[in-house]
A and B are shown apart, each in its own frame.
Chain A
Amino acid sequence: MLTIGLTHYLVLSAIVFTIGLYGALSKRNAVVILMSIELMFNAVNIAFVAVSRFLPPTAGSPPINLSGQVFALFVITVAAAEASVALAIILAIYRARKTVSIDDLNLMKW
């Protein structure tokens, strides 16, 4: 318990991911869903970086395998792009329908 290992970080990541998932599935406000998705992204980032930190390194100059950190960086980038586009969409929907409650957005119903 005292020695923090990979398992701790991964459990933390799982907890945060689950909370974010629950929020993404069960909230009505689209912005809140977006925020929950950000939670999930960050949880995943924790997992990546933790794995990169704790895995035995490949042969080569960096003493640890940095692929995880690279990937986390890219996740941040893409998340930023995605958040901006998503919020733009939400704004557009709000302008068209005066609501961001996803319960009301069921035009694709059969």
Chain B
Amino acid sequence: MLWLVPALPLLAFVLITAFLRRPQMLAAYVSILAIAISFVISLATLFRGMSAPAGWRVESIVPFFTIGPMRVELSTFVDGLGAVMLVVVTLVSMLVQIYSTGYMVEHGEMDPGFSRFFSYLSLFTCSMLLLVLANNFFQLFVGWELVGLCSYLLVGFWYFKPEAADAAKKAFITTRFGDLGFLIGILFVFAFTQSFSFADVTEAVKSNAIPPTWLTVTMVLLFCGAIGKSAQFPLHVWLPDAMEGPTPVSALIHAATMVAAGVYMVARLFELFESAPTAAAVVAWIGGITAIFAATHGLVMRDIKRVLAYSTVSQLGYMMMALGVGGLAAGTFHLTTHAFFKALLFLGSGSVIHGSGVQDMFFLGGLGRRMPITKWTFLVGSLALAGVFPFAGFWSKDDILSSAFNSGNYALGVIGIVTAFMTAFYIFRAYFLTFSGEPRPDWVDPDVFHGADAPKPMIDVAHADPVAAVAYEPNAYYAATHGPAGDPHAAHAELAHAEAASAHQGAGTEASSAAEHGAAHGGHGHLARGAHLAHESGPAMTLPLVVLAIFATFVGFVGAPQAGNPFGRFVTGETAAEGMNYALAGGTLILALIAIFWAWSWYGRGAFVREPLTALGPVYVMVARRYYLDDLYNWMIGVFILGFSQVLAWFDKNVVDGVVNLVGWITRVIGDAISRTETGREPNYALAVFGGIAVIVFVLLNYAVVR
């Protein structure tokens, strides 16, 4: 029965792609129906598991083919961890799809790719479920690559926008680097154990079949896949740019599920990582560094989606850190809670963007009055992310920090605490900028522009000082290499008419794409832009927000140590020994509240005029430019990959083609030489004949005649 769980979305994908391009709403219904049934089955499985004894698992295998020792099978394998993941994936996916029926509609007009969107979502869900249900590396890798593909398709959904196409490529290629290490790791595993199945590999590792150094190398290589897929440092660069995709995509893929695949993989192979302590330390430290590194980005971003993107990177780092120090329950618990509140935050931001047409938070404000449901659910999500009691994030974050301290990794624990402080600060910065005070559609940076000749906002900031310009661009790197933020004159007229007629890079890429779509429809369907024109979203969008908010509030309790941590017991099969560390929990709570208060004082009192952090000067610029990592990577690609390609091209042109040409040349030369023997002159021929006869006679006499 479990096989239905990935099969139904796959069926939906096939049906929509083959038959349902036209009746678009029908496509949505088919997709939602499929995922809903999958959700029910997953839920039933979860309940069955909860009432089963420890060590419960369900497994069914369909063999595919066997080549020598390599057995390729299709499996549906569920244990505690798997059951939880199934429910999270199907639930969030279902909510996102319901949300999309509202989001992908602009003033009554559906996005032209509406049914394509749902077919991709179904395909993605199928791939993710395939990954979760895998009991062997082969199927895991298949699912892994498929979700990568779907990410490419969905991030580049509005393929006519060059930034979206580039972002999709960047996502796919960056994760490819990680996948290379992953694949090599899988091959190493096979080389040592002659099997792909997790059970066989675990047994082999436990019986010391793999030498420790090789085991560490293999586990680090496998972790490379997670570095790519879960956007850890240094392969995190694709996630912020992946925000070019529609917001439901960001919520589903880049918050709750696909990026969690890396965490899931590490959790699945947890026993292997335990046996390779060096590899586990690598995991933990990369996780910790990622967490704090990404959090610094979140402080300076102006695009609301990018704040959330860096927040996701940071929280994934938390999860990796937890898994690395041995807190399997903590890491997976945070995975679950994060799925809920991050999806909530993303969907909330989508509601904001859909309603106001603006992504840059400096031009928002005052939406609390205009979009109450969005505001309250976003607040719940923010409190959960910041780790405030009693919301979900409080319990899971505390779990992680205590795992870090209990295992003796004090440095990581301190990193975690600092990151928690920054997290609370930046998420509430976002909240206050967006929802409190009054709308600021005409905001002008006072440090830059003085007087009446100040250009209209949302357009000409590129000509201003680099600090503002850089931090302004939702896609700073793209703008830096592709030119400034758009034509000022056209945007002048545009703003003066308060309607969007053409797409600009500068004013929020997603809103501009919606505007472009509006223009493509012959000019009608004007998108009014500006926070002052915002309105609350329809029930298709607000209902999932409310559901997620409920989860974000209450799901934390299943992991509460006071209750014996039923979540941890269910997932790991072991009883958690420690109780709650009240000092730690209380301390981090106080820090979070301080951070919230600080954010309120700077951004929340309706007093926002300029960004206070610009006082940091060059530090601010560096962080806003994402530490110049994108520039570095671009340079590296130019030098190493393109340079190496030049070498190979030279080799191919001169050596390989040279050999082929040489063969042709030799043939021609030999042909020329031999054709000279055809002189047409009889004596020459006769000479040749008799010369041959002389040779034959000699040979015969010496070798053939018996003396």
Complex contact flag A–B (Cβ < 8 Å): yes
Partner of B680, one of A21, A26, A108: A108
B586 to chain A, nearest CB (A): 102
Chain A 13-57, CB within 8 Å of chain B: the 1/0 string?
000000001001110000000000000000000000000000000
Interface residues in B650-707 (C-beta closer than 8 Å to A):
675-676, 678-683, 686-687, 690
B672's nearest neighbour on chain A, judged by CB, is A110
Q: Say how far A10's CB is from chain B's closest CB, in angstroms.
A: 13
Cβ-defined contact, B680 with A109, below 8 A: yes
Does A25 lie within 8 Å of B681, measured CB to CB? Answer: no
**Pair A109/B678 contact, Cβ less than 8 Å:** yes
Q: Say yes or no for A107: interface residue by CB 8 A criterion.
A: yes
What residues on B are CB-neighbors of A103 within 8 Å? Answer: 681
Q: Does A106 lie at the interface of the complex (its beta carbon under 8 Å from any beta carbon of B)?
A: yes
Residue A92 interfacial (CB < 8 Å): no
Q: Quick check: B683 and A26 within 8 Å, CB to CB? A: yes
**Which chain A residues lie closer than 8 Å to B683 at the CB level?**
25-26, 102
Chain B residues with CB under 8 Å of A107's CB are 680
Chain A 81-110 residues near chain B, CB threshold 8 A: 102-103, 105-110
Residues on A with C-beta less than 8 A from B686 are: 24-25
Contact A21 B690 (CB under 8 A): yes
Q: Could you list 21 examples of A-B contacts with CB < 8 Å?
A: A24-B686, A25-B683, A25-B686, A25-B690, A102-B681, A102-B682, A102-B683, A103-B681, A105-B680, A105-B681, A106-B679, A106-B680, A106-B681, A108-B678, A108-B680, A109-B678, A109-B680, A109-B681, A110-B678, A110-B679, A110-B680
Q: Once bound together, how far apart are the Cα atoms of A105 and B681, in whole Å?
A: 6
Interface residue range, chain A: 10 to 19
Q: Please, how many angstroms separate the alpha-carbon atoms of A105 and B680 in the complex?
A: 8
CA gap between A24 and B683 in the complex, in Å: 8
Closest residue of B by beta carbon distance from A26 = B683
Which residues of B are found within 8 Å of A110, using beta-carbon distances? 675-676, 678-680
* Contact of A25 with B679 in the complex, beta carbons under 8 Å: no
* Contact yes or no, B690 A109, CB < 8 A: no
Task: Say which residue of A25, A102, A105, A106 sits within 8 Å of B687 (CB atoms).
Answer: A25
Listed from nearest, the 7 A-B pairs whose CB atoms lie closest are A109-B680, A108-B680, A106-B680, A110-B678, A106-B681, A110-B675, A25-B687
Interface centre among B675, B678, B686, B690 (most CB of A within 10 A): B686
User: Which of chain B's residues have a CB closer than 8 A to the CB of A102?
Assistant: 681-683
- B679 contacts across to A, CB distance below 8 A: 106, 109-110
By a CB distance below 8 angstroms, the chain B residues around A105 are 680-682
Contacts of B681 in A (CB 8 A): 102-103, 105-106, 109
Chain A residues whose CB sits within 8 angstroms of the CB of B690 once the complex forms: 21, 25
Docked complex Cα distance between A61 and B35 (Å): 113
Chain B's closest residue to A103 (CB) is: B681
Residue numbers in B under 8 Å from A109 (CB-CB): 678-681
| Interfacial chain B residues near A24, Cβ < 8 Å | 686
- Bound CA–CA A69/B678 (angstroms): 39
Q: When chains A and B are docked, how far (Å) is the Cα of A60 from the Cα of B491?
A: 126
CB B670 to nearest CB in A, in angstroms, measures: 14
Per the bound structure, the CA–CA distance linking A109 and B684 in Å amounts to 11
- Chain B residues lying within 8 Å of A21, measured Cβ to Cβ, are 690
Please measure, in the bound complex, the distance between the C-alpha atom of A26 and the C-alpha atom of B681, giving whole angstroms: 12
Given A24-B686, A25-B683, A105-B681: 15 more A-B contacts, CB < 8 Å: A21-B690, A25-B686, A25-B687, A102-B681, A102-B683, A103-B681, A105-B682, A106-B679, A106-B680, A106-B681, A108-B678, A109-B678, A109-B679, A110-B678, A110-B679
Rounded to whole Å, the gap between the CB of B231 and the closest CB of chain A is 71
Cα(A110)–Cα(B678), bound, Å: 6
CA separation between A105 and B679, bound complex, in Å?
10
Can you name the residue of chain A whose Cβ is closest to the Cβ of B689?
Answer: A25
User: Most chain-A CB neighbours within 10 Å: which of B679, B680, B682?
Assistant: B682
Interchain CA distance A106-B681 in the complex, whole Å: 5
- With both chains docked as a complex, state the minimum distance between the C-beta of A45 and any C-beta of chain B, in angstroms: 19
Q: How far is the CB of A92 from chain B (nearest CB, A)?
A: 15
- Measured between beta carbons, the chain B residues less than 8 angstroms from A26 are 683
| Complex-state Cα separation, A110 to B676, whole angstroms | 7
| Chain B proximity of A20: nearest CB distance (Å) | 11
Distance of A85 from chain B, by nearest CB (Å): 16
Complex-state Cα separation, A48 to B683, whole angstroms: 27
A102 to B687, CA, bound (A): 14
Chain B: minimal CB distance from A109 (Å) = 3
Complexed CA–CA distance, A102 and B680 (Å): 10
For residue B672, give the distance in angstroms from its CB to the closest CB of chain A: 10
In Å, the complex CA distance between A102 and B683 comes to 8
Question: How far, in whole Å, are A103 and B681 apart by their CA atoms in the complex?
Answer: 7
Tell me, in angstroms, the Cα distance from A77 to B451 when the chains sit together.
Answer: 127
In angstroms, how far is the closest chain A Cβ from the Cβ of B683?
6
Residues of A within 8 A of B682 (CB): 102, 105
A103 to B676, CA, bound (A): 16
Residue of A nearest to B679 (CB): A109
Q: How far is the CA of A110 from the CA of B677 in the complex (A)?
A: 9
Bound: A95/B414 CA distance, A = 115
The chain A residue sitting closest to B675, CB to CB, is A110
- Which residues of the partner chain B approach A106 to less than 8 Å between Cβ atoms? 679-681
Q: Which residue of A lies closest to B676 (CB)?
A: A110
Q: Which residues of B contact A108 (CB under 8 A)?
A: 678, 680
Residue of B676, B683, B687 ringed by the most chain A CB atoms within 10 A: B683
Smallest CB–CB gap between B635 and chain A, Å? 61
* Chain B residue with Cβ nearest A102: B682
- The CA-CA distance from A14 to B680 in the complex, in Å, is 29
* Distance of A1 from chain B, by nearest CB (Å): 24
In the bound complex, CA of A25 to CA of B676 (Å): 19
Complex CA distance for A50 and B371, rounded to whole angstroms = 129
Q: Closest residue to A30 on the B side, CB-wise?
A: B682
Closest Cβ of chain B to A99, distance in Å, is: 13
Could you tell me the distance between the alpha carbons of A69 and B164 in the complex, rounded to whole angstroms? 102
B680: chain A residues at CB < 8 Å are 105-110
Q: When chains A and B are docked, how far (Å) is the Cα of A80 from the Cα of B680?
A: 27
Chain B: minimal CB distance from A29 (Å): 11
Q: Which residue of chain B has its CB nearest to the CB of A27?
A: B683
Bound-state Cα–Cα, A26 to B676, Å: 20
A14: shortest Cβ distance to chain B, in Å? 11
Closest to B687 in A: A25
Shortest CB-to-CB span from B132 to chain A, Å, is 75
Question: 8 Å CB contacts to A: which residues of B409-429?
Answer: none
In A53-87, which residues have CB < 8 Å from any B CB? Answer: none
Give Cα A21 to B676, complex, Å. Answer: 24
Q: Which residue of A lies closest to B686 (CB)?
A: A25
What is the CB-to-nearest-CB distance from A34 to chain B, in angstroms, rounded to a whole number?
12
